[in-house]
Chain A
Amino acid sequence: MKKLSIKQHTRTDFLTYLGVIIAFAVMSFLSSNGSLSRSLTGQLVPICCYMSMAVSLNLTVGILGELSLGHAGFMSVGAFSGVVAAMSLQTVIPSAPLRLAAAMVIGAAAAAIAGIIVGTPVLRLRGDYLAIVTLAFGEIIKDLINCLLVGYDANGLHVAFNLTGSKTVADLGMQEGGIAIIKGAQGATGTTIISSFTAGFLLVMVTLFVVLNLKHSRAGRAIMALRDNAIAAESVGINLTKYKMMAFVTSAALAGAAGALYGLNFSSLQATKFNFNTSILILVFVVLGGLGNLWGSLIAAAALTVLPELLRAFSDYRMLVYAIVLILVMLATNNPTLKTFFSRFKPRKHVRKEAV
């Protein structure tokens, strides 16, 4: 009996996991050794977040084939709900790693709900509507959080919307000893930092696990089929809306978890951090790494996050050099000569010529 093709996929996926594990081991060794620069050590958790963001966006853009321009919006939802969760669960869950895990789960759930709200009307349509709506979503969520006031005291959570611009934390009506978690345009300040590189590594692994296993299951096949040809996919009985929603909401939830980790890595965080530029940056990771290519996304996210730091020597011309490097890499990865060179290292497919 022939091997299940899924088992062959699993073998390829294993190499991706292995790469991440080795990278984690090397980086933890270097940072414990003290041979990493301070700025790079500070980048470790954000790099993990961006890697996870890139992999999850690849699910929407590369595997589902729908353009999403608001991935940072889901990250933002996850970040702020994660921060609120972590700050208000301080007494309930004293252990920091467990609290972080809980915050990430809550961040993922909140982002998933946002994903359902955005996806439900849009994913029924064919065409580029998702790009337009997610673009708007990213901007709307930024402005909403900008006027959000959240505090926590013995009575529980207090939420107010500063729509008139005159409300302050005092209007939350908290008891003595309550803490303000989100303070409108100031964002979340005074957050206890509980993120760690290990948590970042686990997040990347979980993201990879979810996306790769989803891709190589019944759902993933259906999602890729409707990317390749929606009419044919429907003609073989595939429920378009269901599978589009599945991919999009999963992608949003993973972005939410990454956002929670990101939010809990800084003592102060503003909603403007998750703007259109961030969404585009993540999209650049995905495009540079290759649509549908998950390990490509990982490498692109890591490299492009570190690159601006490495280019500090160029001072004012830093972003110019960054752009040039980006263009050169894009040109090089599309070069046919280089492609054939690298394809030599790929495992050969056992395909015999058709016997006719």
Chain B
Amino acid sequence: MFPKLVPMPSPNLLTERDVDKRPILECINLGINFGGLAAVEGFNMAIGRTEITGLIGPNGAGKTTVFNLLTKVYQPTKGTILLDGNDTHNMNTAQVNRAGIARTFQNIRLFNDLTVEENVTVAMDAHMHYNMWSGIFRLPRFWKEERVAHDRAMELLSIFNMADLAGAKAGSLPYGAQRRLEIVRALATNPSLLLLDEPAAGMNPSETAELMENIRNIRDTFQIAILLIEHDMNLVMNICEGIAVLNFGRIIAKGTPEDIQSNPAVIEAYLGKQKEA
């Protein structure tokens, strides 16, 4: 049902590894209008199969809107999203997830009345096949699949040191654990692209450092692509192999962390125009 989790050594030349493969995600001229306001416009981006990409920009630039477009919370009014070469045009949020995009939310959205374990197993719904009657009458198929789901959930939780909390209600967890649980839940859907919306929000520097390690580990273990929105520049510059900068719904710069740091357009977007000397 699920691939075995074996951490792979992190290769140094990622772009080289992905070069002869089709990108996992391609956005072509993506855009959405909210009543005449172009919240996102002309958004072009390609993400390699095992690439960590950052999406940054000032508040209100449209970063979360891009996530909502990719996961079809909003239907794009313009452009195309190709997931592994397939157009996601006719898909809804659930179908996009089954096709391979999982996400976390800026404001945590857990299933608060379910336990931590249930929060994870519920995300495996697409990979479980027993029907309603097997569930009601507790047929062998039910036990078999529930056992597999349970083992997988505990395996995922233990990667994030949360196995002890499996029986606790998700709503009762401390903030940091809730953030981690959201990531575990997203990973439980077995995605090929993980979207993280401000994963380090509200974390102190040591927690952020741990999170950075976790994000790298996720990529190396699961061999998936990660696109993240983050305001913590230290995190973004350290772990992202590619960065796109969004301002007023448009990409103003794309490139490696070094390129972005020295890009005048980016500095202007964040700090304003430099006075003429």
Chain A residues engaging chain B, CB cutoff 8 angstroms: 1-2, 4-6, 209-210, 213-214, 217-222, 224-225, 227-229, 231-240, 246, 250, 292, 349-352, 354-356
Contact, CB under 8 Å: B185 / A236: yes
Q: Does B189 contact A (CB under 8 A)?
A: yes
Q: Does B15 contact A (CB under 8 A)?
A: no
Proximity bits, B149-168, A CB within 8 Å = 1, else 0:
01100100000011011111
| Chain B residue at minimal CB-CB distance from A353 | B164
Q: Which of these, A222, A229, A235, A351, contacts B71 with CB under 8 Å?
A: A235
Most buried by B among A4, A232, A239: A232
Contact, CB under 8 Å: B136 / A238: no
Q: Which of these, A218, A351, A356, contacts B125 with CB under 8 Å?
A: A218
Proximity bits, B171-185, A CB within 8 Å = 1, else 0:
001101100000001
| B-side contacts of A352, CB under 8 Å | 164-165
Contact, CB under 8 Å: B164 / A355: yes
Q: Which of these, A4, A213, A292, contacts B135 with CB under 8 Å?
A: A213
| B-side contacts of A222, CB under 8 Å | 122, 125
Contact, CB under 8 Å: A237 / B126: yes
Contact, CB under 8 Å: B122 / A235: no
Contact, CB under 8 Å: A225 / B135: no
Interface size in chain B (residues, C-beta < 8 A): 55
Q: Which of these, B93, B111, B123, B162, contacts A229 with CB under 8 Å?
A: B111
Min Cβ gap B229→A in Å is 15
Contact, CB under 8 Å: B164 / A237: no
Min Cβ gap B149→A in Å is 8
Q: Which of these, A219, A229, A235, A354, contacts B102 with CB under 8 Å?
A: A235
Chain B residues engaging chain A, CB cutoff 8 angstroms: 71, 73, 92-95, 97-98, 102-103, 105, 109-115, 117-119, 121-123, 125-126, 128, 130, 132, 135-138, 142, 145-147, 150-151, 154, 161-162, 164-168, 173-174, 176-177, 185-186, 188-189
| A-side contacts of B168, CB under 8 Å | 349, 351
* Complex Cα gap A214–B138 (Å): 10
Q: Could you give 24 example pairs across A and B, Cβ below 8 Å?
A: A1-B151, A2-B150, A5-B150, A6-B146, A209-B136, A214-B135, A217-B135, A221-B114, A222-B122, A224-B111, A225-B111, A227-B113, A228-B110, A228-B112, A229-B112, A235-B73, A235-B105, A236-B188, A237-B125, A238-B125, A239-B94, A354-B162, A354-B165, A355-B161
A236 and B112 in contact, given A5-B167, A214-B135, A352-B164 (Cβ under 8 angstroms): no
Contact, CB under 8 Å: A225 / B114: yes
| B-side contacts of A236, CB under 8 Å | 97, 102, 122-123, 125, 185-186, 188-189
Contact, CB under 8 Å: A229 / B110: yes
| B-side contacts of A350, CB under 8 Å | 167
| A-side contacts of B95, CB under 8 Å | 237
A232 and B111 in contact, given A4-B147, A349-B168, A355-B164 (Cβ under 8 angstroms): yes
| B-side contacts of A349, CB under 8 Å | 167-168
Contact, CB under 8 Å: B167 / A210: no
Min Cβ gap B143→A in Å is 8
A234 and B93 in contact, given A5-B150, A224-B113, A351-B168 (Cβ under 8 angstroms): yes
| B-side contacts of A229, CB under 8 Å | 109-112
| A-side contacts of B73, CB under 8 Å | 231, 235
| Chain A residue at minimal CB-CB distance from B98 | A237
| Chain B residue at minimal CB-CB distance from A217 | B135
Q: Which of these, A2, A221, A227, A235, contacts B93 with CB under 8 Å?
A: A235
| A-side contacts of B110, CB under 8 Å | 228-229, 232
Contact, CB under 8 Å: A235 / B103: yes
* Complex Cα gap A222–B149 (Å): 14
Q: Which of these, A5, A6, A237, contacts B97 with CB under 8 Å?
A: A237
Q: Which of these, B105, B113, B125, B142, contacts A232 with CB under 8 Å?
A: B105
Contact, CB under 8 Å: A237 / B189: yes
Closest 5 CB pairs of A and B: A217-B135, A237-B97, A232-B109, A236-B123, A234-B93
Q: Which of these, A1, A210, A233, A240, contacts B136 with CB under 8 Å?
A: A210
Min Cβ gap B119→A in Å is 8
| B-side contacts of A235, CB under 8 Å | 71, 73, 93, 97, 102-103, 105, 109, 186
* Complex Cα gap A235–B167 (Å): 23
Most buried by A among B136, B162, B166, B176: B136
Q: Which of these, B121, B136, B173, B177, contacts A213 with CB under 8 Å?
A: B136
| A-side contacts of B103, CB under 8 Å | 235
* Complex Cα gap A339–B204 (Å): 36
| B-side contacts of A4, CB under 8 Å | 146-147, 150
* Complex Cα gap A210–B133 (Å): 9
Min Cβ gap B238→A in Å is 22
* Complex Cα gap A352–B160 (Å): 16
| A-side contacts of B142, CB under 8 Å | 217
* Complex Cα gap A247–B258 (Å): 53
* Complex Cα gap A218–B167 (Å): 17
| Chain A residue at minimal CB-CB distance from B129 | A218
Contact, CB under 8 Å: B146 / A240: no
Q: Which of these, B102, B125, B154, contacts A2 with CB under 8 Å?
A: B154
* Complex Cα gap A1–B158 (Å): 13
Min Cβ gap B110→A in Å is 7
Contact, CB under 8 Å: B138 / A354: no
| A-side contacts of B128, CB under 8 Å | 218
Contact, CB under 8 Å: B109 / A221: no
| B-side contacts of A213, CB under 8 Å | 135-138
Q: Which of these, B136, B147, B161, B186, contacts A217 with CB under 8 Å?
A: B136
Min Cβ gap B111→A in Å is 4
Contact, CB under 8 Å: B117 / A240: no
8 further A-B contacts with Cβ under 8 Å, apart from A5-B117, A214-B132, A352-B165, are A2-B154, A6-B146, A222-B122, A231-B109, A233-B111, A233-B122, A354-B177, A355-B164
